[in-house]
Amino acid sequence: MVGIGAVLMQGGHPIAYSSKTLADRHRGLSTYEKEMLAIFHVVSIWRHYLLGCRFTILINHCSIKYILDQRVQTMVQQKWLSKLLRYDFTIAYKKGSDKKAVDALSRNYQHDDNIERLLSAIHLNPLVYLKYSMSDGVLRYKGCIMISTSSPLCDESLQHLDSSPIVGHSRDLPLLLSSFVDAFVDFSVSGLFLPQQRNPNQTHQELPLLQTRYPPPDRLIAIGDLHGDLHKSKQALELARLIDSSGRWIGGDATVVQIGDVLDRGGDELKILYFLEKLKREASRFGGTIITMNGNHEIMNIDGDFRYVSKSGFHEFRVWADWFRIGNSMKSLCDGLEKPKDFFEGIPSVFPGIKKEFYDGIRARIAALRPAGPISGRFLSENLTVLVIGESVFVHGGLLQNHVLYGLERINEEVRDWISGLKGRFSPRFVRGRNSVVWLRRFSDELAKNCDCSTLEHVLATIPGAKRMIMGHTIQEAGINSVCENRAIRIDVGMSKGCGDGLPEVLEINGNSELRVLTSNPLYQNTSKSSLKADQEEGLGFLLPERGPKQVEVKA
């Protein structure tokens, strides 16, 4: 072996190549050490892609899989290994016959008479072949790597380019640069590498229909209002065994419903939006689903109502705007990219009656969250406003008969269209006012006698198969609970530090029938767990602290 090579791939498509001639001092190394050197080399040059992300290294040397478990033999190995420990990776074996592209890059050339003759001619008369050059043992023509026609890399490259959204032509380089800048801005704001997946040129007619009704999954977790508290959000997800301590999805094929109100009252609003988007992608790879919903605070912010924004919330969006502006400046320097429009266009620079120190934060929130804004369009436009899963109806505030008659699918579509900038500046009427789907409190009073159970029963009767309505919006100081013979389940426990600093709790539903409250309340820890079934004649209500986790009352 006289060289090492590697291909960086994402989603099965190559995004970068590396090839390097081995220095004389490295050619006497064992095969194991050469493979280790190759890993260290490519991880170092691609660190800007890999830092902060979990990735897999495929290698055809089987024993290298155990690099992290074996004893370090030499000082050189110790040096390489210590630098690799900064990264989050796994190593998997892939047989050499499946790695044609990498073999080609590592100078494992197949014999080609034409290439051999060309190399000899260049060596004898370099002035005649000025368009050719040799660099690190690689033959180039006008700066481009030359590949033998007999090399398997030809077929590999063509196959990857044909199936890639970036088809390998120079005219696509501006799009590639734009994607890189977007990823750079995302990482600067959230600390996450989150390539955008939505096609910016997608028209309204091409937008997928929102799914309003789902069959019951084996396991469903419902999470209440988060209000800008990333730490408590992660605690709730860990409590439900959906993420590990590093924030990675471990929930398998579970379904998660976050019932709205990510925004306001805290300083981690954007970080939560990015984190939930990351989890959506991770969950989908394991058959899981995360559904996010609109609460009244999402609607208020898109409408430009910032009454409940915290000082740290304005600061977070101001920082986002600074990075977004830098990204647009970078894009404006690239020929072939349409000049980004001023995302502050039409936004006032002065707000009478408000302290000047908040001006930049206010302008940033308006720009980011107004209809078709960079944040609202990306993270909120596909939120649901009403959701039916099996026998459970999910809505932030509550539903009345006129909402059901208007149409649940119609509500979701019209809110989505408004957030996407297709329905004017102001929100639809069914998400405004005290009796709207995101503001209603008729079924959420902590005193059961104040809840309108007869109206709720009638509303559920008009939704086929529905037995219960699950809501957020109104803080339940006693924790998750139910009223109206278990037809109304209230899951907003005020967990955010910005509105109660309550202990995280989530609702777990197994199939259609078994409902359980998972709580971080120490009174309910380290006790035996029990559950109730919907086909039982009479439920036991909430179990006493010494008996186990709290249970939602279930009646036939």
Q: Strand ranges (DSSP E) for 259-411?
A: 289-292, 386-389, 392-395
What is the rounded CA–CA span in Å between residue 462 and residue 502?
35
Helical axes 75-84 vs 31-45, angle rounded to 10°: 30
Task: Cite the DSSP H helix spans in 70-205.
Answer: 75-84, 100-105, 113-124, 152-163, 173-190
Q: Are 423 and 411 in contact (CB under 8 A)?
A: no
Q: Which residues contact 505 (CB under 8 A, 6 or more apart)?
A: 224, 236, 239, 479, 480, 491, 493, 495, 517, 518, 519, 520, 521, 550
Q: Are 233 and 226 in contact (CB under 8 A)?
A: yes
Return the structure tokens found at 417: 């269209």
Question: Which entry of 297, 396, 403, 473 is annotated as an active-site residue?
Answer: 297
CA atoms within 13 A on the CB side of 170: 2
Q: In a 3-state reduction of DSSP, which class is residue 330?
A: helix
Q: Are 508 and 489 in contact (CB under 8 A)?
A: no
Q: Which residues contact 535 (CB under 8 A, 6 or more apart)?
A: 513, 556
CA dihedral 486, 391, 469, 519 (to 10 degrees): 70
**How does strand 138-141 pair with strand 144-145?**
antiparallel
Q: In degrees rounded to 5, what are phi and psi of residue 220?
A: -130, 135
Q: Are 271 and 379 in contact (CB under 8 A)?
A: no
**Residue 297 is a catalytic residue:** yes
Helical axes 173-190 vs 269-285, angle rounded to 10°: 120
Q: Are 390 and 214 in contact (CB under 8 A)?
A: yes
What is the rounded CA–CA span in Å between residue 164 and residue 381?
27
Q: Which residues contact 416 (CB under 8 A, 6 or more apart)?
A: 207, 210, 381, 382, 383
Q: Which of 316, 42, 41, 330 is nearest to 180 (CA)?
A: 330
Report, as residue numbers or ranges, the catalytic residues: 297
